[in-house]
Homo-oligomer: A and B are copies of this chain.
Amino acid sequence: MADYIAPIGRLIEEFRRLPGVGAKTAARYAFAVLNLSEEAASSFAEAIVGIKRDVHTCPVCFGFCDSSREVCEICSSDVRDKRTVCVVENPKDVMVMEKVRGYRGTYHVLGGTLSPLDNVTPDNLKLKELADRVEKGEIEEIIIATNPTPTGDTTAAYIVRMLEEYPIKVSRLAYGIPVGADIEYADEVTLYRAMEGRRYFGD
C-alpha cells in the first residue's frame, strides 16, 4: 500500500503546489478537506475554478478585473481621481495599495520590472500603454510605486526618463520600507507614510 490511498494522495500533491507547503502540511490540509461537508468541498473547488474563470485584466490599468465588468471597479469609478495614477509592478500590488484608504487616484500595472537578465525589456511591460495614457493629457501626476529593489529602481528611472517630455508631476513612494523587502508584506501604516512622504523628482 502506498502511504495514502489515491484520492487523498492526489489532493496532497495538489496542495504541495502552493508556496511553502510541504508534505506534512499538504496532508494536514487534505484531511481538513476530507472533514468538510460535501457542500463546503464543492464550494472550495468552485472558488478555485472561479478565480481562474472570473478574474480578468482591466484594459485600462491592467489590474485585476471581475469578469462582470468591462473595466475594473477603480478605473470605472466616478469618485476616483483619474488625474493621479499610481504605477505598480503587479496586479496584486493594487490591492496592497488600496489598503491605504487615503489614496483616491487610479493605477497602472506594469506587469513586472525591467530585468535584462530575465529578458524583460520595455516591450514586455505596459510602459508604452502608460505613455499612451499620459499622452491623452488627462493625467497630472504619476506616483511610481515599484519595489525598492534593483529592478524596481531601474524601472522607476526608466519611467522618469520616458515621461520627462510631458508637463506632469512624477514622484516615487518614499520608502521608509526597508530596502530589499517587498511592499506586499508592508503594514498599512508604513505604506500610508510612504505615500504621504513621496518626493517629487527635480525638487
Contact check, B73 vs A1: say whether CB atoms are below 8 A apart. Answer: yes
Give a binary string over A67-111; 1 marks a CB under 8 Å from any B CB, 0 the rest. 110001110010000000000000010010011000000000000
Tell whether A48 pairs with B33 under 8 Å between CB atoms, given A54-B7, A74-B1, A95-B3: yes
Q: Which chain A residues in 27-72 approach chain B with CB under 8 Å?
A: 27-34, 36, 38, 40-55, 64-68, 72
Report which A residues bind B (CB closer than 8 A). 1, 3-8, 10-11, 13-14, 17-20, 24, 27-34, 36, 38, 40-55, 64-68, 72-74, 77, 92, 95, 98-99, 185
| Known A3-B99, A28-B19; contact A8-B52, beta-carbon cutoff 8 A | no
In the bound complex, do residue A4 and residue B95 qualify as a contact, i.e. CB atoms below 8 Å apart?
yes
Given the complex, which residues of B lie within 8 Å of A32, measured CB to CB? 17-19
- Contact of A51 (CB < 8 Å), options: B8, B53, B54, B68: B8
Which of A32, A51, A67 counts the most B-chain CB atoms under 10 A from its CB?
Answer: A51
